[in-house]
Structure 1
């Protein structure tokens, strides 16, 4: 499953920026759709309600290609992390995001991924009440710690089930019998996603070999995450890294160091690296499907109730 988080975040400026959202619409998304069309790939796009409302075309452009429309929450603002919003606020964001995306697309939205993968003990219950049935916010055996917001809570990833599972009502990190199916993002301690691919291209080669080996043993699906804003280039503009935290330690790791690292191999270089990953799995006869299609086939399909 090749998945895409669509938002207005500027990697170059380390902040949300409407102008970046426009470049995502005009450049990043067309690049992704072209490469998916070239390899006949169906994918899942997680849109924030904000970018969908600001530029509805960013959602509409995927509708004729068989891709899935999914929710990335209402906003990607730091203060709107699902790990710190109270239950009612989470519920509001989930319902409003779902409504915006369904009104634009005319499609039912049942899949969710939290902005920055930040969730808490209330998120599963809010997802159920808001009408979702699939989550992909857990990155099992991924270790972030100081390099991302909500790093302490994300330590729970280290003990989360590695194969897709029904979650507990009380925790998306644990197995249970709730209506929510968790489809974890792939990781080998380091995340398998666009940022790692751009920062450590050689390491990512080893990652995809390891994940392929694991899949050959237990059929664990491989879930990759990329952002269309990684495929655009804003380096022609003078850079000033925005500060999102008032704490010196957090600013150093989560803003300054992280922002400088993440600016590597943006634009065409990222696209070339991404195509390399796609070719690797294409050459091994992988089937590329949406998250929704995987869950419907595996948990509700001809195999009946799937136990993992």
Structure 2
């Protein structure tokens, strides 16, 4: 966290940090670190356990998890929590209703036109990403994947088949350098905001630590790709190697004149426009 926060301070960047309730309760200081420096704090649900995926939890359980994480993060940070990103981007259509009921106004879980195949858990249900709106949109109250007139704004994480994220940046930095150029051209055409996902633990080298890879699926192909292969790939360029790669990516957008902002600030500045996008 200090290394990531130092990088943001160096370039005057404000970001949104999404915390699970599990991490926030275990290490409340990492929440305070970001909040005290003016970054937005968002909810990332209660935990990353597969059974806590918002794509499989019943509605009532989704509400309980959102209420729990929201209150915990507000108590720690002393700030209102209105932004949410689902663990592993796993949501169901009625997650929109659960978010609205619990006081959230922003979601960033629908990675439009991202295709994970078996490389992430819950990937079958993420097929809906392929038809989701590409620009920020007000969601349908009963279906987070489509446009509507609700008070919940969806800000899609950037993707063009592959994710625009720390994992792909580390695994295939050359491809990411081309990917960022493609996304830049798109942003010039339609002013679509770029949303990059990175985790603070990617700046920690865990490659030599013993790892227990849990089998999360009975499907052999899914197990090999989303558990075994994914776990192996995710160790590439962890730690000190990740930081210069990320700084290079940040500098690309600084040199292109981009403004870096939080989810909340983006919606505040563009709320009137979002309804018409």
User: What's the TM-score bracket when you normalise by the shorter of the two chains?
Assistant: over 0.9
Q: Does the alignment pair 1:221 with 2:190?
A: no
Q: Deviations over 1:75-125 (max 9, x none)?
A: 110110000000000000000000000000110000000000000022011
| Structure 1 equivalent of residue 102 of structure 2 | 130
Asked if the contact 2:138–2:275 (Cα under 8 Å) also holds between the matched residues in 1, the reply is no
Aligned to 1:165: 137
- Cα distance in 2, alignment partners of residues 103 and 254 from structure 1: 35
Aligned ranges 1:1-308 → 2 under 5 Å: 29-300=1-272, 306-308=275-277
Cα distance in 2 for partners of 1:211, 1:249 equals: 31
Q: CA deviation digits over 1:20-76, x for unaligned, max 9?
A: xxxxxxxxx111101000111000000001110111101001122110000000111
C-alpha separation between the residues in 2 aligned to 1:167 and 1:198? Answer: 32
3-state SS of paired residue (1:35) = helix
> Unpaired segments of 5 or more residues in structure 2?
none
Structure 1 residues 74 and 240, CA gap change in structure 2 (3 angstroms): closer
Superposition deviation, residue 246 in structure 1: 4.2
CA contact (8 A) 1:82 1:119 kept: yes
* Structure 1 residue 285, shift from structure 2 partner: 1.1
Displacement after TM superposition at 1:240 (Å): 4.1
Instruction: Determine which structure has greater relative contact order: mean sequence separation of CA pairs < 8 Å that are 6+ residues apart, divided by chain length.
Output: 1
Unaligned runs of 5+ in 1: 1-28
RMSD, matched Cα:
1.2
TM-score by length of structure 2 reads 0.97
Would you say how many aligned residue pairs link Structure 1 and Structure 2? 277
Distance 2:209 2:183 in 1: 38
Supply the distance in 1 between the matched residues of 2:124 and 2:219 (Cα, whole angstroms): 16
**Alignment partners' CA distance in 1, 2:156 and 2:5:** 24
Is the contact between residue 44 and residue 291 of structure 1 (CA under 8 Å) also seen in structure 2? yes
Going from structure 1 to structure 2, the CA distance change for 1:262 and 1:212 (only over 3 Å counts) comes to same
- Counterpart CA distance in 1 for 2:219 and 2:158 is 31
